[in-house]
Structures are given as C-alpha cells and as structure tokens.
Structure 1
Amino acid sequence: MKLIFAIVSNDDSAKVSSALTKAKFSVTKLATTGGFLLSGNTTFIIGTDDEKVQEVIEIIGKHSKKRTQMIPSSASYGVGMYASYPVEVTVGGATIFVINVEQFEKL
C-alpha cells in the first residue's frame, strides 16, 4: 500500500481530480500555497495499492502541464533606486511524493 501526495497548480486541479475519480481512485484535496510564487496549489492525497502507483502518476502527468509565466521582479541600482522588470518563470507541472503505508483502514 502506498500514500501519494501530489502538488499541482490550481489551474490543473479540476482536470486532475476528475481524471483520478474517473479512474476509480479515492482522492482527498487540500488547498495549499506554493512558497516561491505564493500562488495557489492543490495537494492531492491518494491511497492506493503498490501496483497502481504508476497509473496514478501517469494520470497526474497527463493533466498537469508546465507552462511559463511572466512575474514582476526588481533590481537594486544603488541606495534607494529600484527598477521593476518582468521575469519569465516555469510554473505548473506536479510534484509527487510516494510513501510506504504500514496500515490502511477505511471505516
């Protein structure tokens, strides 16, 4: 038995959730916030059998895509002088953790 934590962008959350549910996986969703861009994420918690882990990862990968986004940034040019300019960063995709589960009960 495995426990999967999958962190995906809110932009992809509905598609990932729908696809996992359609494939008969029980999913718990948590609203989370990313540390780098302070943007909204969804963390999925999925308990599944060892042999179905790869299927879960493939579903998440298919429905959570990386993309680029422009964010404001600033640079300091001496004492008290700042200039703002946009920087392109990659967002989206998924971060997935798979953990062994010693015991699983569904009551």
Structure 2
Amino acid sequence: MKLVIAIVQSDDADRLVSELVDEGFGVTRIASSGALLRRENVSLLVGVDDRDVLRVLSVIRRTCRRRKEVVVPYAPAMEPGLLWMPENFEVEIGGATVFVLPVERLERIGDD
C-alpha cells in the first residue's frame, strides 16, 4: 500500500478531487500555502494499493497543468531572508508536487 501526497494549486484542487473520486479513489484534502509566493495550495492525501499508484499519477498529470502568471510583488519584506522584487514578474504556477510513500499499516477505526 502507498500514500500519495499531491500538493497542487487551489485553482486545480476541486477538479482534481472530482477526477480522483470519479476514478474510485478516496481523497483527504488539507489546505496549505506555499512559502515563495505565499499562495494558497492544497495537499491531497490518497491511500492506494501499489497497483493503483500509476492510475493516480495519471489523473494528476492530466488535471494539473503548469501555466505562467504575472505576479505583483509584495512591499519590501521586513523578515530577514525574503526576496523583494521591485517590478511585476512572471512565474510558472500549477502542476503538482507528488510524494509516494510506503504505508506499513492502514487501520480504519469505526469500521465494523
């Protein structure tokens, strides 16, 4: 068994959850945020049998595409180590960061 953790843009999350559920996968959605652009994103947890990992990755690939967006910079940061850009700049957003972890044990509490 594997735990697939997919970190995706909020804009892609609803569609991805819907696609995964349509494929028969259970999904847990956790709100999170990225550090660099300070944007909302979503971490999705999907527990699957080893044989289903490639199907989950396929759904993620076809649902979460990278795209370019112009970002308006923040005011000069007061926190040490933060980069400040004085002009708008273009960044690539979207896609997904995916971790596939082995699961030693799965236990569903409350199932009789």
Q: Shorter-chain TM-score: what band?
A: 0.7 to 0.9
Judged with a 3 Å threshold, the aligned counterparts in structure 2 of structure 1 residues 106 and 91 are, in CA distance, closer, same or farther, namely same
Aligned residue pairs, count: 101
TM-score by length of 1: 0.88
Secondary structure of the 1:85 match is coil
Q: Which residue of 2 aligns with 1:88?
A: 90
Separation in structure 1 between the aligned mates of residue 108 and residue 16 of structure 2, nearest angstrom: 23
Separation in structure 1 between the aligned mates of residue 72 and residue 31 of structure 2, nearest angstrom: 24
Matched, 1:35 2:35: yes
Code of the residue aligned with 1:25 in structure 2: it is F
Aligned positions of 1:1-107 closer than 5 A:
1-73=1-73, 84-107=86-109
How much is the aligned-residue C-alpha RMSD, in angstroms? 1.9
For 1:15-61, what per-residue CA distance to the aligned partner results, in whole angstroms no more than 9, with x for missing partners?
Answer: 10000000010100000001110100010001000010010011011
TM-score by length of 2: 0.84
CA contact (8 A) 1:72 1:84 kept: no
Q: Which residue of 2 aligns with 1:79?
A: none
The 4+ residue runs of structure 1 with deviation greater than 4 A are none
Judged with a 3 Å threshold, the aligned counterparts in structure 2 of structure 1 residues 83 and 48 are, in CA distance, closer, same or farther, namely closer
CA contact (8 A) 1:7 1:95 kept: yes
Judged with a 3 Å threshold, the aligned counterparts in structure 2 of structure 1 residues 86 and 98 are, in CA distance, closer, same or farther, namely same
- Which structure: greater strand fraction? 1
For 1:60-88, what per-residue CA distance to the aligned partner results, in whole angstroms no more than 9, with x for missing partners?
Answer: 111111111111348xxxxxxx9831111
Separation in structure 1 between the aligned mates of residue 36 and residue 71 of structure 2, nearest angstrom: 11
Secondary structure of the 1:84 match is coil
